[in-house]
Amino acid sequence: MRGGGRAVVLGCGDFFFRWRSYLPLILAPLLAAAVVRSQLAFDSRDDLVWEIGCVLLALAGVALRAWTVGVAAPGTSGRNTREQKAASLTTTGPYSLVRHPLYLANSIIALGLALFPHAWIAPPLVATLTAVYYACIAEREDQYLRERFGAAWAAWAARVPRVIPSFRGWVPAARPFRWRVALRREFYALGVVLVVPLLLDVGEDLHETGAFDLDPVWTATAVLGGALFAALRFLKKRTSLLDVPRRAEGRDRPAT
């Protein structure tokens, strides 16, 4: 990449990193537009099978996020938005398969939800947007890690792909899975994936028939998602159940 082009990508990476929490606000209009586009031909039974598959795909993304933050070393970027941070270089577990597992997980979640409305235009639009968005952030993050960790980063990057996972170099996670960290960080994503399908399904019905119809499957899923979100948020904000002992874990700020 030429110097000028690389500077643009890095600048975009800084900007997108700072505002990365707002990506769902960009994707939401695309999904809404997809709802009013032509639908693929499914009968009601195939329709439900398709939708369940889409939600399972999105949940796989949530699971990858939970695994990643659960084994990541403390002292990394966390949910800060001002700058990249990394007290150590994590190269095991999911980071031995792909250099940016969280960005891959976010893309999987977005793709699963984009496929849900059965509209051909949504998946390529969402996939393109997330690819550009996270490619810029990943480029900026790679530069930061290269400057901070030098040869260690170069050796890791030489054997681990940036985006497409490779299982040839699998190394078990060096740290035990911290379920408290995973629950503290990922109940937001879990809630979104369980609630959004109901909104998309209602939107489809309104567009196709003009009727407000609550599908029992997605209503139950949304209720479960809302209940889990409320319960985990309460435990995080009002109790110490999800707190991680500092003497054992140091600063608990897993990467995002």
CA separation for the pair 43, 38 (Å, rounded) = 15
Write out the two tokens for 58: 């999105």
Residue 201 lies in a domain: yes
Any domain includes 77? yes
Tell me which residue range forms the domain holding 200. 23-249
Could you tell me if residue 12 is inside a domain?
no
Q: Are 64 and 193 in contact (CB under 8 A)?
A: no
How much of the chain, in percent, has pLDDT values that exceed 70? 75
Listed residue (186, 187, 132, 200) closest to 163, CA to CA? 132
Least confident of 20-34, 113-127, 171-185: 20-34
Q: What is the pTM of this model?
A: 0.84
| pLDDT for res 136 | 85
In a domain, 197, yes or no: yes
SS3 of 114, please?
Answer: helix
- Chain position carrying tokens 């700020």: 253
pLDDT digits (tens, 9 = 90+) for 121-173: 888 888 998 888 888 888 888 988 999 999 999 999 999 999 899 999 999 99
Beta bridge partners of 86: 76
CA 197-198-204 angle, to 5 degrees, is: 90
* pLDDT at 203 (0 to 100): 84
- 120 in the Ramachandran plot: left (φ > 0), alpha (ψ -120 to 50) or beta? alpha
Cα separation values, 127 from 30, 104, 196, Å: 11, 11, 18
> Quick check: 225 and 188 in contact, CB under 8 A?
no
Do the beta carbons of residue 65 and residue 105 sit within 8 Å?
Answer: yes
Domain contains 256: no
What's the structural domain count of the chain? 1
Whether residue 7 lies inside any domain: the answer is no
- What is d(CA 191, CA 203) in angstroms, rounded to the nearest whole number? 19
Q: Is residue 196 part of a domain?
A: yes
27 three-class SS: helix
- R_g of the chain, CA atoms, integer Å: 20
Domain membership flag for residue 5 = no
Percentage of the residues of the chain whose pLDDT score is greater than 90: 51
E-assigned strands of 76-162? none
